[in-house]
Amino acid sequence: MRTQICIIGGGPSGLLLSQLLDLQGIDNVLLEKHTRDYVLGRIRAGVLEHGFAALMREAQCGDRMDREGEIHDGIEFAIDGVRKRVDLKALTGGNSVIVYGQTELTRDLYDAREKSGGNVIHCVEDVQLHDLKGASSVTYRKDGVAHTVECDYIIGADGFHGVSRKSIPADKIKEYERVYPFGWLGVLSETKPVANELIYARHDRGFALCSMRSQVLSRYYIQVSLADSVDDWSDDAFWTELKLRLPHDVANALETGPSIEKSIAPLRSFVAEPMRYGNLFLAGDAAHIVPPTGARGLNSAASDIYYLYHALLDYYKKGDDTGIDKYSERALARVWKGQRFSWWMTNLLHKFPDHIDYDNRLQDTELEYLFSSENALKSLAENYVGLPF
């Protein structure tokens, strides 16, 4: 098989790039190791910055997002039981975020690729990348049969554990990582959200987050030890602990119910540099991971796709390879800003087991300064709604 672009990974990043390229007549093949149902069964974040929402509309996949997504003009902080609102829209001159579940966003992208006859191949095995500095190709097996895809470029959007980043020689890539000493226990429930906007709670017992997927589907998180397992937390234990970390009025209004999904996610910051090697370009979790505190993970991946899409568009439509040559530099500049914001939010709101009294007083002072300075709040809001591409 011959194509212009071979995309590895059928998550939202790979699907979005495939859809955008297809609309411009740029031939591409997408390879995914799992079934469509498996991909759609993964529960992920759903806070979309305004630039990502615009990219979904450009991909002609934004109708349901605009119809069903929740527009949030602000977020709330609950600091030791005291609620403080950050007016994102006012602080950024009119920008907001959209709360729309990643599962639904991925479903919209899948439907669009199916409608246009996109070449999405599921259940591929033994994916290997070849001759990344020359006539590149990707080989894989499906149903026991070997296949080869010859292509101009390969996009590695196959996640942290995928084959793409591992195909770059070890001496040609540098990895930066920080592992945090706690995780997030998340519960999805068919309950009405406790508030109209997200609530980020800092408490002596640990961090908590009140989020949502829709007006009938809520997502809640609490900070837990990495030694904990899901089996350690019954639904009753989770709801009891969550209420202890929230302001009394929020806790009293909280609607509880059986969990329909429960998991513990460890927190990590990770960046691989560069994001290009020869004809291979990394995107999304294949190149970088952030703690979910600042809602930058999916949005950082979308910015990679923005740069890749425009680089490939310039190359195939204008013969201009500037964007291709500068992809890694441009993407990493925004990636590191997302890393900084996620690191800052994580340090601001979590209880660290190794903190001394000095560290705790600095955390208190940082929060006091944040809500005493309009410029500090503007910086938070600018980063939360999304920096310019």
> What would the pLDDT profile of 329-370 be if each residue is shown by its tens digit?
999 999 999 999 999 999 999 999 999 999 999 999 999 999
In the chain, what are the domains?
Answer: 5-73+95-177+268-349 (3.50.50.60), 180-267+352-385 (3.30.9.10)
Give the count of alpha carbons within 13 A of 187, CB side only. Answer: 28
Model pLDDT, residue 307? 98
pLDDT (tens digit per residue) in 120-129: 999 999 999 9
Looking at the predicted structure, is the pLDDT value of residue 43 above 70?
no
Mean of the per-residue pLDDT values of the chain: 96
Helix axes 12-23, 50-58, angle to 10 degrees: 50
Instruction: Please state the rounded mean pLDDT for residues 142-159.
Output: 97
Residue 47's SS3 state is strand
Radius of gyration of the chain (CA): 21
pLDDT band at 41 (very low <50, low <70, confident <90, very high): confident
pLDDT for 42 equals: 73
pLDDT over 90 at 271, yes or no = yes
245: which DSSP letter?
Answer: H
CA angle in degrees (0–180, nearest 5) for 270-273-276: 125
Write out the H or E segment, with its range, that includes residue 7: strand 5-8
* Res. 297: pLDDT tops 80: yes
